Chain A
């Protein structure tokens, strides 16, 4: 469901990937580090741990300008050709002026319109409920996916992934990957049907298949992938692409599916600390727009040691990136929540709340959520995105300001940050859900109620 947006010539992108400046990958990585360091100084961008949601509009605009400079100076690295794909300022400007300002997911009554949000926007964020590719068993895939699709706040949904298909390990590049990928799409649509929402959009209908052939094989209406569903194409950290990704783009540009671009820079990695990674993440959006023809843009910046984005430096980064983009572009941006702790713990509820407040007030839509560092099998459920989405809706409806949001988020972070390196991995799906009803256990519901009461004492009422 494409709207009026126009994109940069993709064939020209491929030409540049095959004719641009040759550079060793290690030199590109070092160049990125040096450039962001100089831009941080030039534009006076400073992280303040006491202000995770800044109200300094000037700094947000400087972050944006620094990212433009970075993108134009550095370009995008193609690992297959070891060449740099470069763009001019005029090309970037043209692309930004022609971005789609509406993307639609779903069909019939489940059609959802996604739009560019603004800082302190009182319009509700669109909530993309996602299990973010948590590894699960084949037997549990369907009930887990259903737990996401059935949530009233789920505007779209996507699923976990399976590591074994009919007892065989799902291996990248093998025929089993194609079989499992088709099954994955079929089961997601079945989950939507079982949830009583057959027309809900599936914003990423493929998690199990990674290779392009497996992804394309699963992209058929007879398997349950309809116009109004979508796929995500991820950049390689940092500021890199390869032909595998560009092949997906070539397909998606000609398909009826929404192309979401996905970026996951590592804070502490090649772009340095929170300030440098902030600049790099904004620049990734230009990569997604010009190289991927991305219609909407998902970000999952990750702390290099804690594998989450709920530490105070990560929340600052999320807020700054959101504000920089919301103030200076019409890009549709979506914040992927990554929690250190796992399901059915008090800590995960506080992390979800802090991440959601920060994202919503800073201009993002919401994509909850990866939990337990997104690495422990069976640790995911529809309850975590429910918490995240309820908070996000409340933030928008009450018109929370950045200043007030900062006060609340700091209180929440102070409560969990000392435990972040040893965050509890929480309970498996079948331990925190009633399996006969696919509903959270009383224990999990009670924990959420308890936390809501605590948040009320902080002046943040979630009904």
Chain B
């Protein structure tokens, strides 16, 4: 089995230690880290995503595989940083909106984004609009991903977009929304750039928004 296939397999098996060993081996062989991640670990995670979409596997298995992927990618990240490069091409600021403590959906999106090469800053649950703004200023992310499970909290989403405008940040960052009561029509109405029906859809939309090879029906809102 070639090295890239072994890397994919390590992720599918959720073998964290093996992923680290293989990442180091790839570097020793002079492989390009980005290519190794995309053609190795990411291929494994794509397969995990496919199986999760069909519920052939469940979230605990996805988390184990994602941990393996993150461990392997960390080896490459440290290598890139040591060489003075930028560790991740694209970043996402993620959080459940103010007043909302339901975050399982957001957590699945985080796992999927990380598994697909995004650097995710997860602000957690019940994140005030102003905290999002402060973090955008501090971290300069490519995307803000915001979720809500209740109608009384999703109304903070347009306030976030307004606050981005008021702070002159709207043009610098894309906004994605999701969550049980959030419909594509709502996303459009409030001026969000993207909407994801599911975690996998959110990844495809995120990739499209930042000019990676995103695809699929759930594009910009």
Contact = CB atoms under 8 A, between A and B. Distances in A.
B15 interface: no
A173 B20 CA distance: 46
B63 interface: yes
Contacts of B60: 30, 33-34, 37, 270-272, 276
Contact of B180 (A169, A236, A272, A375): A375
A23 B156 CA distance: 30
Contacts of A273: 55, 58
Contacts of A30: 60, 63
B102 A237 contact: yes
Contacts of A278: none
Interface string B100-135: 111010011000000000000000010000000000
Nearest to B67: A30
B58 A268 contact: yes
Contacts of A210: 99, 150, 152-153
A106 interface: no
Given A269-B59, A376-B183, A79 B152 contact: no
B167 interface: no
Interface in A105-161: 135, 161
Contacts of B100: 172
A172 B98 contact: yes
B87 to A, nearest CB: 22
A170 interface: yes
Interface string B155-175: 110000000000000000000
B121 to A, nearest CB: 15
Nearest to B60: A33
Interface in B14-28: none
Interface string B53-78: 10100111101000000000000000
Given A170-B151, A237-B102, A269-B58, A374 B63 contact: no
A163 interface: yes
A344 interface: no
B155 A171 contact: yes
A271 B59 CA distance: 8
Given A169-B155, A170-B152, A210-B152, A305 B104 contact: no
A211 to B, nearest CB: 7
Interface string A286-324: 000000000000000000110100000000000000000
A61 interface: no
A361 interface: no
Contacts, number: 85
A232 to B, nearest CB: 14
Nearest to B122: A26
A236 B98 contact: no
B156 A268 contact: no
A177 interface: yes
Given A210-B152, A375-B181, A172 B58 contact: no
Interface residues of A, number: 39
A269 B104 contact: yes
B140 interface: no
Given A170-B151, A236-B102, A276 B180 contact: no
Interface string A374-398: 1110000000000000000000000
A97 interface: no
B181 A170 contact: no
Interface string B29-60: 00000000000000000000000110100111
A375 B53 CA distance: 21
A276 B55 CA distance: 14
B142 to A, nearest CB: 24
A304 B59 CA distance: 10
A217 to B, nearest CB: 14
Given A170-B152, A171-B156, A211 B99 contact: yes
A438 B68 CA distance: 57
A175 B77 CA distance: 47
Contacts of A244: 101
Nearest to A266: B104
A208 interface: yes
B98 A374 contact: no
B59 A270 contact: yes
A228 to B, nearest CB: 27
B130 to A, nearest CB: 14
Contact of A272 (B59, B104, B153): B59
A79 B101 contact: yes
B101 A236 contact: yes
A307 B155 CA distance: 22
A190 interface: no
A375 B197 CA distance: 12
A132 B70 CA distance: 39
Contact of B183 (A173, A242, A375): A375
B67 to A, nearest CB: 9
Contact of A242 (B98, B101, B107, B150): B101
A242 B151 CA distance: 20
A29 B55 CA distance: 19
A161 B151 contact: yes
Most chain B beta-carbon neighbours within 10 Å: one of A37, A161, A210: A210
Given A171-B155, A210-B99, 5 more contacts: A30-B63, A238-B104, A244-B101, A270-B59, A272-B59
5 contacts: A79-B101, A163-B152, A268-B58, A269-B104, A305-B55
Give the 4 A-B residue pairs with the shortest CB-CB distance, closest first: A33-B60, A172-B99, A172-B152, A272-B58
Interface of A: 29-30, 33-34, 37, 79, 135, 161, 163, 169-173, 177, 208-211, 236-238, 242, 244, 266, 268-273, 276, 304-305, 307, 373-376
Interface of B: 52-53, 55, 58-61, 63, 98-102, 104, 107-108, 125, 150-153, 155-156, 180-181, 183, 198
